[in-house]
Structure 1
Amino acid sequence: MDVVVVGAGPTGLMLAGELGQSGVRTMVLERRPEPSGTAKAGGLAGQILQLLHYRGELAGFREASTGPAPPARFPFGGLHLDFTRLEDPPMGAMLLPQPQLEGLLAERAIERGVEVRRGHEAVGLRQDEDAVTVELRGPDGPDAVSARFLVGCDGGRSRIRELAGIPFPGTSFPEVERLASLTVPDAVTVLDDGGLEIAGTGRIPFGYTATERGVFACSGMGDTMGVYTAEVEETEYGDDVPMTVAELSASVTRVLGIDLPLGAPLRMTRFGYSAKQADTYRVGRVFLAGDAAHLFPAGGVAINAGMLDAANLAWKVAGSVQGWAPPGLLDTYSDERRAAAERTLLHTRAQVALRRGHGPGGDALRALFLELTADEQPLRRLGALMAGTDVGSSTSDAHPLVGSFATDRALRVDHEDPRFAGLLRGGHPVLLDLADRGHLRELADAWAGRVAVLGAAIDERPADALLIRPDACIAWAATVDEPDEAASSGLREALTTWFGAPTT
């Protein structure tokens, strides 16, 4: 076996599918005997949608979606940020509850030759210079599996992280968050602005309300209503203890002080928030990804971050398995994705401060914040942070796009430009020639079979050529009209740095 992935959540299954696509022999181990039916997350959001577009897979995920794309208005620290006034919002979402998402990703992985074993719990770990072995407790008793690499995608309480001895510093917040989507009962009327009118009680505004007892939020759309509460509690709930409508109702009463009629549940979940990050995402042949590597104190970001971890790691591990990976390539995974997680921790920790403030001070903070986001540039910056595309900047002597994601805005093309559907199909890097620079294409041909070469014409192109990695990160760019000698030298260095020695 080449790679063992522990954990069959979105991160682990995404990673397994990416590895399988590259021909890497992969096994997924999951301690639960059956997939969970709990919709901990309601869909996909952020940069992962752009990556799926580049993979040529976005249409398939849309077919599995449970509804039309929601408008670009997203919660942020007790507020809602409205990106709909921007022609090209930096943040988008897709409704795809986690059980359906995991089913789709599992099918994708299995079709690519991945073996998924459920009911196998990791209980031990050992590694040497050549292999890593995970000891298991399975339905038939003790077992063990060895591979060249092991990736822990087993959540915030990761057993793999613990066995590998990787510290996980940070803060756990003493709050219980409850989130539900329900039908609208007869005593409730959904208002045009998303608020609710309660018979005998009055109007509850759309959005968040902070009280001394916690935070409440509601939103209505058509024949459904969303309800959210957050409050400090001493009770600890296990992942296998389902939330009930009665439990949610009691929480609303405690936080808001009213009896809110609730309809039939469509989706219900309960969770806690932590702000934590592993000291490293790699120890020898053992890696961490997703919640095993980082926890964020806000919703809507974890799946995006975890699946982007998987996309970053998969092609680097594949390069090592296939023998072309240059020295140090595997180490760039921890460096890059820890830096990306720091950006996500920055804005999610800020959200904690925004949503927990109550009284005149908290109201003033949120009002001022909304005033600042009325301007386009702050709104775009926050959207990029939420989408996971603000992962840092390039070095001072490189093109400004180097180190960033190849977003629609970066390429200066329309959203989901059909010419780029499948740009990174199969997980291969691409040299994208935007100015008919034949000498650059000829140079890249020396990496044939490893790097694809494509041409396109873009009005007001951002660069003459872009080297785009399989995770949609821009590894190199030629400035417009850059001299041939300088452009060739830069491209050769980038190709060698990221994709090893030429094949011819």
Structure 2
Amino acid sequence: MRAQVAVVGGGPVGMLVAAELAGYGVDTLVLEERAEISERPKATTLHARAVQSLARRGHLPDSAWHGAPGDFHFAGIHGLVITAPALEPDPILKCPQARLERLFEARARAAGARILRGHRVTGITQEEDGVRLTVEGPGGRAACRVAYLVGADGARSTVREQLGIGSDTSPATVSALVGLARLEDPGALEQGWLRTPRGWIVSKRTPGGETHIRTLDCAGAYEGRERPPTPQELCREVSRIAGRDVAMTGARWISRFSDFTRLARTYRAGRAFLVGDAAHLHFPIGGQGLSTGVLDALNLGWKLALAVRGEAGPRLLDSYGLERRPAAEGVIDNTRAQLALMRHGDDVDALRAVFTPLLAADRGSGRLGDMISAQGTVLPAYTDRPSPWEGRFLPNARLRTPAGETELTTLLRDGRPLLLLGGEQGARHEEEARPWAGTLRVVHAREAPDGAPDALLVRPDGYVAWSPGGGALGDALPAYFGDGARVPEPAAVSGDGHGRRFS
């Protein structure tokens, strides 16, 4: 087997990487050990910055475009309101992980990615010009050679281990269970968040009449946590924390989790990259895990595609880890802070009493909401002389162009970096960018988005790459896109209309 890029792991993050790469015309192969998508309940939340970035790449269902504020929580304290700028989608999208996986897989296939289920990677060897893989599949052992490798294979990542990428870790200090069960008395367990002196229970009834249950005991980590939990253990734990018998039947999909954390020390090793849980793991509070992985995928996708196509600047691939690792570190820190507020004791009770009105007051500044939703993320400087706008996320805006009215989000859906020009200097900037005409999309607008300069270079993921007020555009373009080799103009892929490919 040969491909330009192999993605190991076919969960939602891996499938999104594949959809992005294939949409740029990259020959992409997905190797997934599971034979089919798991229906086990997992993540269900996508936060604002992930939703906004998916919208810019055309991956977001139209049903998500309402723009209403989202009510959320911090450490189980409700009242956190997450908002988004006008013309953006809802800041919180509730969608089962399995559904997202199906959506991204369909888009990857439509764009031309090859997806092999039931295939497990057992060996990885890096070479100067590529990566060799040993793969075990239904037909036996096979060899695979690729130019680049992406490890999206979860917390127990084979890619991370085979490449010897070290991690910063902290041990588990709490015990938690999750599972689905049918309560004999549906009223025996109130829906939502229940805090008692013995721990936490979070329950939510499903449309099928089952209850999705999570428990948390902050007294310490499990002993013998390698043992699989049983329905009896889930029932005992729920009853103990609730302080009354809670009878249940048909418990399934039961698993343990904890606050064990891992952060890979590097997101890149030669021609291999880590995304999602393979790169970072944290206590699952605040619904940030899936969103963080989605943003990994959308950050890496366009950069790796340009590298495969020979259009990337010399440092562009390194910027993936420099941008995404600090973001994951911030998520680990805020989930630790939330867990500290969920522990028990008089001191914590006093802290929660003080913190609760502060949470309500945050509606004015939005600081906590921006932290949880990743809307507070500003990327580190990439160019030598950055402008104040470089690294900021550009909100969606309506634009008047010679071709008619459009929106920023629409202009980014073909995957090309966007040079948005207005004002008197537009013609000069366009001439500077001419050697990169095959890479960039150049659009003239009659006026800039509110508060923005009249010239902006916008990355496919929506972040500003350059604006006036720093170095010259002629210096920024080669830093991002190399020497400006001319390539054919992009064209949309035929198929179901979802995938887009550069030809």
What's the TM-score, normalizing by structure 1?
0.82
AA paired with 1:52?
L
- Matched positions, count: 469
Distance in 1 of aligned mates of 2:365 and 2:176: 26
Task: Give the direction of change, closer, same or farther, for the CA distance of 1:141–1:221 in structure 2 (3 Å limit).
Answer: closer
Aligned to 1:256: 242
Task: Give the direction of change, closer, same or farther, for the CA distance of 1:75–1:129 in structure 2 (3 Å limit).
Answer: same
Deviation at 1:75?
3.1
Task: Give the direction of change, closer, same or farther, for the CA distance of 1:180–1:405 in structure 2 (3 Å limit).
Answer: farther
Deviation at 1:348?
1.5
**In the alignment, is the contact (CA less than 8 A) between 2:13 and 2:152 conserved in 1?**
yes
AA paired with 2:421?
D
Aligned to 2:376: 390
Structure 1 unaligned spans of 5+: 189-197, 480-485
Distance in 1 of aligned mates of 2:138 and 2:229: 25
Distance in 2 of aligned mates of 1:60 and 1:179: 31
Structure 2 unaligned spans of 5+: 400-404, 487-503
Task: Give the direction of change, closer, same or farther, for the CA distance of 1:51–1:462 in structure 2 (3 Å limit).
Answer: same
AA paired with 1:216?
I
The one of 78, 82, 88 aligned to 2:80: 82
How do 1:435-450 residues align onto structure 2 when only pairs under 5 Å count?
Answer: 435=423, 437-439=425-427, 440-450=429-439
Aligned to 2:388: 400
Note the alpha carbon deviations across 1:118-170, whole angstroms, 9 max, x for none: 11111111111111011122222222211001111100110110000011221
Deviation at 1:276?
1.3
Task: Give the direction of change, closer, same or farther, for the CA distance of 1:327–1:459 in structure 2 (3 Å limit).
Answer: closer
Distance in 2 of aligned mates of 1:436 and 1:243: 70
AA paired with 2:7?
V
Distance in 1 of aligned mates of 2:479 and 2:465: 9
Counterpart secondary structure, 2:135: strand
Aligned to 1:332: 319
Aligned to 1:217: 202
The one of 391, 397, 411 aligned to 1:423: 411
Deviation at 1:301?
1.1
Distance in 1 of aligned mates of 2:256 and 2:91: 24
Aligned to 1:194: none
Aligned to 1:160: 159
Note the alpha carbon deviations across 1:405-459, whole angstroms, 9 max, x for none: 2345xx699xxx9723323113211122355742234433432121112344457
How do 1:91-110 residues align onto structure 2 when only pairs under 5 Å count?
Answer: 92-110=91-109
Aligned to 2:309: 322
Percent of aligned positions that are identical: 36
How do 1:66-465 residues align onto structure 2 when only pairs under 5 Å count?
Answer: 72-83=70-81, 92-179=91-178, 188=187, 207-211=193-197, 213-218=198-203, 227-231=213-217, 232-236=221-225, 244=231, 247-260=233-246, 271-299=257-285, 300-356=287-343, 358-376=344-362, 380-392=366-378, 398-408=386-396, 419-433=407-421, 435=423, 437-439=425-427, 440-456=429-445, 457=447, 460-465=450-455
Deviation at 1:91?
7.9
Deviation at 1:184?
8.5
AA paired with 1:337?
R
Distance in 2 of aligned mates of 1:458 and 1:136: 51
**In the alignment, is the contact (CA less than 8 A) between 1:69 and 1:93 conserved in 2?**
no
Task: Give the direction of change, closer, same or farther, for the CA distance of 1:151–1:258 in structure 2 (3 Å limit).
Answer: same
AA paired with 2:415?
G
User: What do you get for the CA RMSD once the two structures are aligned?
Assistant: 3.5
Deviation at 1:327?
1.1
Distance in 1 of aligned mates of 2:184 and 2:434: 63
Counterpart secondary structure, 2:317: helix
What's the TM-score, normalizing by structure 2?
0.82
Distance in 1 of aligned mates of 2:363 and 2:186: 42
